[in-house]
């Protein structure tokens, strides 16, 4: 192999190694955020109103967290968390998963 070929192979190896390390780091960060989302939401009450206008509480359990997706909210990284099945909400959470930024009730009473 020529010196140019060895150099190209070395550069390729370094690029592949950097991509795999960055992929692991972002996956770990996502898992940390997802853990924080679970800790923040489990036990949290969402209030909605019955057709008669009576306030009702929905307490979130770990089984109620249906999906977690990355989104952009007000030009910042955030998470969209779908909560509930028959009474669903979309909660927008901070990038670290510790704060609810916006609540969208997806059902009408």
CB contact at 8 A, 58 and 48: yes
pLDDT in tens, 4-32: 544 444 444 444 444 343 344 345 558 89
Per-residue confidence (pLDDT) for residue 109, from 0 to 100: 80
Mean pLDDT, rounded, of the chain: 82
Residue 57, pLDDT > 70, answer yes
What pTM was computed for the model? 0.71
The total of other beta-carbon atoms located within 10 Å of residue 2's CB is 7
The token pair that represents 88 in the structure block: 């669903």
Per-residue confidence (pLDDT) for residue 4, from 0 to 100: 53
pLDDT in tens, 59-83: 999 999 999 999 999 999 999 999 9
């Amino acid at each position: 192999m020529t010196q140019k070929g060895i150099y190209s192979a070395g550069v390729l190896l370094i690029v592949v190694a950097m991509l795999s390390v960055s992929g692991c780091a972002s996956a770990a960060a996502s898992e940390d955020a997802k853990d924080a989302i679970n800790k923040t939401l489990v036990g949290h009450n969402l209030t909605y109103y019955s057709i008669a206008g009576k306030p009702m509480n929905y307490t979130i359990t770990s089984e109620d967290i249906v999906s977690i997706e990355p989104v952009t909210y007000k030009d910042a990284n955030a998470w969209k968390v779908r909560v509930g099945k028959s009474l669903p909400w979309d909660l927008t959470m901070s990038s670290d998963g510790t704060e609810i930024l916006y609540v969208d009730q997806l059902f009408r009473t």
